[in-house]
């Protein structure tokens, strides 16, 4: 008879064996329950350790997974926004924490595509095979890893590049009432990046889907979609998606800034890339955030916006950056857009964003209807840091242009009813009218800096003084064509030397004089 002796030792061994084979990896996922849901907001019980901004996984009664983002962390419940099929989630559905912040797919594979606020394609061109992801909220780099803005981000728009120059890594606000050409400036700037090695991100917030489709077609037609990604949360999308879209755009942009072309982290040896991000527009994001916050029952503040709306915009715009050489010197230039009501820049959201950005391009309805397009009010438009990024050739000719034009506007208003003006005043009015006219520019006609510099030089040197005001734009266009065709050395030299030398000035004078001889004034003009 076989007797197995049960000793203390054998019991101990058996237990040890069992313990060894035990899978001890612990998954710390909390499970909670939806206690209330509506308007894209869910209130959840039982998620004690959820983080602010954490990705939450909701499971509907029929097994569908919907993601959400934790927003309000209260003592006994969590308020979350639903990102996705809002209607699928009902009371008593399960919610799990994921231990991750909300992330989106990013990468160069997205170029040419239109994605939603979660980085998913919405252009019907099939899946995007991205490999990388980034958190939508990202702490902006500190001062040590940055350097001052010093390279130009040219928009190709004469009035902007000459008087309100923008540098790579800068934040320049485009602000104005409805239908004043705000979007047009952003789109023209994207089109002008064609040979600039710049990735462009256009974020459409709260616009009509048909408008976004139009923008896509325009960019495609001008060959700009090759280097552009559109992020779209339309007016029909839920408020949380409209709130998220600019941050998604920033996250997509950051991938290029923080990685070299090889997809590896940027550093002194592996240069980072350059990105232009346009947030069109942040007023609509603010409205979406207000709606979201009110449904989350956060206390309303000024104009019923939640108290942290300033922080929301500053967090976003601080992500615009010019990295130091050590980190690859990549840059993210941000052009946020804000819509004003009846030109009121003193309203809450406009003042906030003005104070966060490095300057603003102010567009005005009355100028727009007077035919001054782009309708930039030069008196109150500024770029606080872009001057150091402007090319020398432009700075030499446009140095005092902004102040001269502002002075002209004042003088014009002052002398409106006067008849006998002295010669020098007449001369100043004459010049001002022509310079103002010179800055008119249609859409989709970007000018490289050497053409812009020559155009302004022509005005400064008085070559336009005897050209009728209504002929100035035609004169400019034909002059540039003429120089391109028969005096292209002027442009080549300006481009390669980058500044005006006596030699280039002499060449330019010769070209302009030759052109003036053959220019035919319009018959109706005196």
How far is the C-alpha of 245 from the C-alpha of 116, rounded, in Å? 7
How far is the C-alpha of 387 from the C-alpha of 394, rounded, in Å? 10
Which residue has the closest beta carbon to Mg ion?
Answer: 183
184 binds, among ligand ATP, Mg ion, none (CB under 5 to 8 A by kind): ligand ATP
Judge whether 368 and 180 are in contact, CB under 8 Å: yes
Q: Is position 339 an interface residue for ligand ATP (rule: CB under 6 A)? A: yes
CB of 468 to Mg ion, least distance (A): 34
428: tokens are: 């100043």
How far is the C-alpha of 272 from the C-alpha of 322, rounded, in Å? 10
Of residues 443 and 495, the one with the C-beta less far from ligand ATP: 443
Contacts of 362 (CB under 8 A, 6+ apart): 175, 176, 345, 376, 377, 380, 381
CB of 434 to ligand ATP, least distance (A): 19
Q: Give the binding range for ligand ATP (CB under 6 A) out of 89-97, 108-116, 181-189, 467-475.
A: 181-189
How far is the C-alpha of 363 from the C-alpha of 345, rounded, in Å? 11
Q: Is position 222 an interface residue for ligand ATP (rule: CB under 6 A)? A: no
Q: Dihedrals φ, ψ of 252, to 5°?
A: -65, -40
Element (H, E) at 200: strand 198-205
Site size with ligand ATP, rule: CB under 6 A? 14
Of residues 255 and 368, the one with the C-beta less far from ligand ATP: 368
CB of 480 to ligand ATP, least distance (A): 17
How many C-beta atoms surround the C-beta of residue 523 within 10 A?
A: 5
Q: What is the CA radius of gyration of the chain?
A: 29
Q: Is position 184 an interface residue for ligand ATP (rule: CB under 6 A)? A: yes
Q: Is position 374 an interface residue for ligand ATP (rule: CB under 6 A)? A: yes
Q: Which residues bind Mg ion (CB under 5 A)?
A: 183
Nearest to 256 by CA among 331, 157, 155: 331
Judge whether 335 and 186 are in contact, CB under 8 Å: yes
Q: Is the Cα dihedral 499, 503, 505, 511 positive or negative?
A: negative
CB of 212 to Mg ion, least distance (A): 11
442 binds, among Mg ion, ligand ATP, none (CB under 5 to 8 A by kind): ligand ATP
Of residues 191 and 398, the one with the C-beta less far from Mg ion: 191
Instruction: Using DSSP bridges, classify how beta strands 114-115 and 228-233 pair: parallel, antiparallel or unpaired.
Output: parallel
Q: Is position 180 an interface residue for ligand ATP (rule: CB under 6 A)? A: yes
Q: Which of 96, 443, 474, 499 lies at the binding interface for ligand ATP (CB under 6 A)?
A: 443
Q: Is position 179 an interface residue for ligand ATP (rule: CB under 6 A)? A: yes
Q: Which of 148, 263, 300, 442 lies at the binding interface for ligand ATP (CB under 6 A)?
A: 442
Q: Is position 313 an interface residue for ligand ATP (rule: CB under 6 A)? A: no
180 binds, among Mg ion, ligand ATP, none (CB under 5 to 8 A by kind): ligand ATP
Q: Which of 113, 168, 171, 182 lies at the binding interface for ligand ATP (CB under 6 A)?
A: 182
Helices (H), 27-153: none
Catalytic residue among 29, 297, 302, 384: 384
Contacts of 360 (CB under 8 A, 6+ apart): 172, 173, 174, 175, 354, 380, 381, 382
CB of 224 to Mg ion, least distance (A): 17
Of residues 184 and 238, the one with the C-beta less far from Mg ion: 184
Give per-residue burial for 101-139: e unless 16+ CB within 10 Å, then b: bbbbbbbbebbbbbbbbbbeebeeeeebebeeebbbbbe
156: tokens are: 């190709």
Active site annotation includes 495? no
Of residues 183 and 192, the one with the C-beta less far from Mg ion: 183
Q: Is position 178 an interface residue for ligand ATP (rule: CB under 6 A)? A: yes
Nearest to 348 by CA among 312, 386, 387, 373: 312
Of residues 362 and 408, the one with the C-beta less far from ligand ATP: 362
Catalytic residues: 384
Residues forming the site for ligand ATP (CB under 6 A): 176, 178-184, 339, 373-374, 441-443
């Amino acid at each position: 008879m076989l007797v197995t002796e049960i000793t203390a030792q054998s019991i101990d061994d058996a237990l040890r064996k069992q313990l060894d084979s035990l899978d001890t990896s612990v998954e710390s996922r909390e499970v909670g329950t939806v206690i209330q849901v509506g308007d894209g907001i869910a209130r959840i019980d039982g998620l004690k350790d959820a983080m602010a901004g954490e990705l939450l996984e909701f499971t509907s009664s029929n097994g569908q997974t919907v993601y959400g983002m934790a927003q309000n962390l209260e003592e006994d419940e969590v308020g979350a926004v639903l990102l996705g099929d809002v209607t699928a989630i009902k009371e008593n559905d399960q919610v799990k924490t994921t231990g991750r912040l909300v992330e989106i797919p990013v990468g160069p594979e997205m170029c040419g595509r239109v994605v939603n606020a979660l980085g998913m394609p919405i252009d019907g061109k099939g899946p995007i095979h991205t490999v990388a992801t980034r958190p939508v909220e990202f702490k902006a780099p500190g001062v040590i890893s940055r350097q001052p803005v010093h390279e130009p981000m040219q928009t190709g728009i004469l009035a902007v590049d000459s008087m309100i120059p923008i540098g790579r890594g800068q934040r320049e606000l485009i602000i104005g009432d409805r239908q004043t050409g705000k979007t047009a400036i952003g789109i023209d700037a994207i089109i002008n990046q064609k040979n600039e090695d710049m990735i462009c991100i256009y974020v459409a917030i709260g616009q009509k889907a048909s408008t976004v489709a139009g923008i896509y077609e325009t960019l495609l037609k001008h060959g700009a979609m090759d280097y552009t990604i559109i992020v779209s949360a339309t007016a029909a999308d839920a408020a949380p998606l409209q709130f998220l879209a600019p941050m998604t755009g920033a996250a997509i942009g950051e991938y290029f800034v923080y990685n070299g072309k090889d997809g590896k982290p940027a550093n002194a040896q592996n240069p980072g890339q350059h990105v232009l991000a346009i947030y069109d527009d942040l007023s609509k994001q603010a409205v979406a955030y207000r709606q979201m916050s009110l449904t989350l029952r956060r206390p309303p503040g000024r104009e019923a916006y939640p108290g942290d709306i300033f922080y929301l915009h500053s967090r976003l715009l601080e992500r615009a950056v010019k990295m130091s050489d050590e980190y690859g010197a990549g840059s993210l230039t941000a052009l946020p857009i804000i819509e004003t009501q009846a030109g009121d820049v003193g309203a809450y959201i406009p003042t906030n964003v003005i104070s966060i950005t490095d300057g603003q391009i102010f567009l005005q309805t009355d100028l727009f209807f007077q035919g001054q397009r782009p309708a930039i009010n030069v008196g109150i438009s500024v770029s606080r840091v872009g001057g150091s990024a402007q090319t020398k050739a432009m700075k030499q000719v446009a140095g005092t242009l902004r102040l001269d034009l502002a002075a002209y506007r004042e003088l014009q208003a002052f002398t409106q009813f006067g008849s006998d003006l002295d010669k020098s005043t007449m001369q100043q009015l004459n010049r001002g009218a022509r310079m103002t006219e010179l800055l008119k520019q249609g859409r989709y006609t970007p000018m490289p800096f050497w053409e812009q510099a020559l155009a302004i030089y022509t005005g400064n040197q008085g070559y336009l003084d005897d050209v009728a005001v209504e002929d100035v734009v035609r004169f400019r266009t034909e002059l540039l064509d003429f120089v391109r065709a028969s005096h292209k050395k002027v442009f080549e030299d300006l481009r390669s030397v980058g500044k005006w030398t006596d030699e280039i000035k002499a060449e330019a004078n010769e070209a302009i004089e030759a052109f003036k001889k053959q220019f035919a004034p319009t018959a109706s003009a005196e």
